[in-house]
């Protein structure tokens, strides 16, 4: 009888200890649940980069190099970190841009194109025309950007004598603008919109 009671008590304790494990099984075994999903992750990652940043030629050799990593999330994070570093270090030089059709220049265009610390009165018009000239895409990575999110920079800085003529205007997305003005790679990468988007694939 004593043995039976002991058995019942121990059995009850074991069952009680297994209940939380059953309830939170998805969290406890998250890495196991994700096993085998790396191909979907890679597919989504490549599709995102090709669709949204077509000018950045990504080398995906990191996928092969991380094959021995058992933890799926660590492997995915290593892949994302490598892509972000490539995105940051993409070789980009600001180059003179093409003008719009000269017949589309307006009265005062030439005069207001001269170098001046103060933006010209027709600055918004210049921004809009240069954005349309670039088909609404970032000059560095090729991402489509809404005009309100487009950041216009200069081939030759105004403080160095550059003007407001169309040949000197470049449109960038927020991330690429952060990169060309970056003083700290790790800090800049952590603040990129792309960082959040790619890490979403890891966490999903």
| 89, β-bridge pairs | none
Residues forming beta bridges with residue 169, ordered by sequence position: 154
Domain that holds residue 110: 102-180
In DSSP notation, 54-112 reads TTS----HHHHHTTT---HHHHHHHHHHHHHHHHHH------PPPPPPGGG--TTHHHH
Assigned domain for 70 exists: no
What is the Cα 89 distance to its own chain's centre? 13
123, containing H or E segment:
helix 123-133
Residue 51: inside a domain, yes or no? no
Tell me if 159 is assigned to some domain. Answer: yes
Per-residue pLDDT for 2 more than 60? Answer: no
Q: Say whether pLDDT at 20 is over 50.
A: yes
CATH for 133: 3.40.1800
At residue 192's C-alpha, the angle toward residues 191 and 193, to 5°, is: 120
Yes or no: say if 88 and 188 are a contact pair by the CB < 8 Å rule. Answer: yes
Residue 12 lies in a domain: yes
Higher per-residue confidence, 22 vs 156: 156
14 occurs within a structural domain? yes
- Give residue for tokens 């077509």: 54
Return the minimum-mean-pLDDT range out of 10-19, 68-77, 86-95. Answer: 10-19
Nearest-5° Cα angle at 202, 198 to 204 = 105
> Is a pLDDT exceeding 90 seen at residue 37?
no
Question: Cα 99 from chain centroid?
Answer: 29
Domain contains 171: yes
Q: Say if 73 falls within a structural domain.
A: no
Q: Rounded to the nearest 10 degrees, what angle do helices 72-89 and 193-203 cross at?
A: 160
33-39 long-range CB contacts below 8 Å, 24 or more apart? 34/72, 34/73, 35/72, 37/72, 38/72, 38/75, 38/76
Beta strand residue intervals within 115-172, DSSP E: 151-154, 169-172
Q: Assign residue 192 a region: left if phi > 0, alpha if psi is -120 to 50, beta otherwise?
A: beta
How many domains does the chain contain in total?
Answer: 2
Note whether residue 64 is domain-resident.
no
Band of the pLDDT at 13, cuts 50, 70, 90? low
pLDDT in the model for residue 31: 46
Band (203; pLDDT cuts 50, 70, 90): confident
């Amino acid at each position: 009888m004593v043995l039976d009671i002991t058995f019942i008590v121990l059995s009850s304790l074991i069952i009680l200890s297994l209940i939380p494990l059953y309830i939170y099984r998805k969290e406890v075994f998250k890495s196991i649940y994700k096993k085998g999903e790396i191909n979907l992750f890679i597919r989504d990652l490549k599709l995102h980069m090709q669709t949204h940043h077509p000018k950045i030629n990504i080398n995906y050799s990191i996928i092969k190099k991380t094959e021995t990593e058992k933890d799926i999330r660590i492997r995915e994070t290593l892949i994302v970190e490598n892509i972000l570093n490539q995105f940051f270090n993409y070789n980009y030089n600001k180059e003179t841009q093409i003008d719009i059709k000269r017949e589309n220049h307006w009265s005062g265009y030439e005069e207001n194109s001269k170098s001046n610390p103060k933006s010209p009165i027709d600055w918004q018009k210049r921004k809009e025309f240069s954005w349309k000239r670039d088909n609404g895409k970032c000059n560095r990575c090729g991402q489509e950007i809404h005009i309100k999110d487009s950041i216009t920079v200069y081939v030759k800085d105004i403080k160095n004598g550059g003007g407001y003529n169309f040949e000197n205007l470049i449109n960038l997305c927020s991330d690429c603008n952060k990169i060309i003005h970056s003083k700290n790679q790790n800090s800049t990468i952590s603040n990129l919109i792309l960082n959040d988007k790619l890490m979403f694939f890891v966490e999903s």
